[in-house]
Amino acid sequence: MLEHLNKALDHIEAHICQRIDAAELARIAMTSEYHFRRMFSALAGMSLSEYIRRRRLTVAGAEVLAGDRTLLDIAVRYGYGSGEAFARAFRAVHGVGPGEARREGSTLHSQPRMSFRLIVEGSSSMRYRVVEKERFHVVGKKARVPLVHQGPNPAIAEFIRNIPPETIRRITALSDQHPKGIVAVCDDLDPSRAEGTELDYYHGVVTHSDTPPDLDALIVPPGTWAVFENTGPFPEALQSLWRDIFTQWFPSTPYRSRPGPEILRTHLSQDTTQAEAELWIPVERVTITD
């Protein structure tokens, strides 16, 4: 898997001045575009589009300082429709505009070229099982919230606080299958998985029951799920688990992620600092033809 990912990175470098198609990168990496984007984000710590933007403007920055081309020529060469658009993007990465950088010999920021390599850890086992699940509903209350990679998510915490206890009791009573009880469900995430992008968050239950008119529902089609068990500090252990699934579990198994909601069931300690959790990730088996 890592060999194919590195071939995709080579393709980015060879076409850094051109439009780079994520679907083509996924083909080179021999996986789906959905899984490629998520795997890249987990391994690189940034989205694919952000990495390409930073690499492109790193190479463009060297050309700006070299002074062999006009700024407009460089802008067009790297795919910007105008000098103003190039200047905005350049300033966002380097902290100065291209004109200032050329006149003053400014220090620019560099995004090094990435390559992925395997670090064998395996000091602790990962507890998981694979489950086939029929069509079901997630029923509860829904909010659109920003994605937070580390630490508590204030928007989610505020949303949950504002759900009346009686509503929580009614939602809980609808639970009739695994995972049992109240679950946190994240759906419709931005493919980049970038910090601050928005997602649909459901505080609800997994059920076959009909949806009461005052509640929200998400219909989930049949599919395969990888279910991971985790115990540790909340929420840090869960956020680390998500990273480990994509950097360690997927590369060592015949599965890849597929579109669908992620479901989290947690049992918090009395002081809410520790949690026992199950994380359900939608997956599909990779066949020989992929």
State the pLDDT at residue 13. Answer: 94
d(CA 162, CA 141): 10
The H or E element that residue 189 is part of is none
Any idea which architecture 2-104 has in CATH?
Orthogonal Bundle (1.10)
Burial 210-234 (b: 16+ CB within 10 A, else e): ebeeebbbbebeebbbbbbebeeeb
Give the 3-state secondary structure of residue 178.
coil
The DSSP 8-state label assigned to residue 251 in this structure reads G
> What pLDDT was estimated at residue 125?
53
Count, in order, helices (H) and strands (E) of the chain: 10, 9
- What three-state secondary structure class fits 109? coil
Q: How many Å apart are CA 144 and CA 189, to the nearest integer?
A: 10
What crossing angle do the helices spanning 83-94 and 48-66 adopt, rounded to 10°?
100
CA-CA-CA-CA dihedral for 184, 186, 187, 192, to nearest 10: 180
Right CATH for 127-285 from 3.10.129.10, 3.40.50.300, 3.20.80.10, 3.40.50.2300: 3.20.80.10
Residues paired with 224 in a beta bridge? 132, 283
Domain-wise residue ranges, the chain: 2-104, 127-285
Q: Per-residue confidence of the chain (290 residues) as pLDDT tens digits?
A: 678 889 999 999 999 999 999 999 999 999 999 999 988 888 887 889 999 999 999 999 999 988 889 999 999 999 998 999 999 999 999 999 999 988 876 778 888 888 876 554 544 456 889 999 999 999 999 999 998 877 788 999 999 999 999 999 999 999 999 999 999 999 998 877 778 889 999 999 999 999 999 999 999 999 999 999 888 888 788 877 887 888 778 877 889 999 999 999 998 888 888 888 899 999 999 874 44
Q: Which of 111, 115, 11 is nearest to 53 (CA)?
A: 111
| Identity of residue 30 | M
Main-chain phi, psi angles of 25, to 5 degrees: -60, -40
- E strands present in the chain: 127-133, 136-146, 183-187, 198-207, 216-220, 223-233, 255-257, 262-268, 274-285
Query: Is the separation of the CB atoms in 12 and 25 below 8 Å?
Result: yes
* pLDDT on residue 169: 97
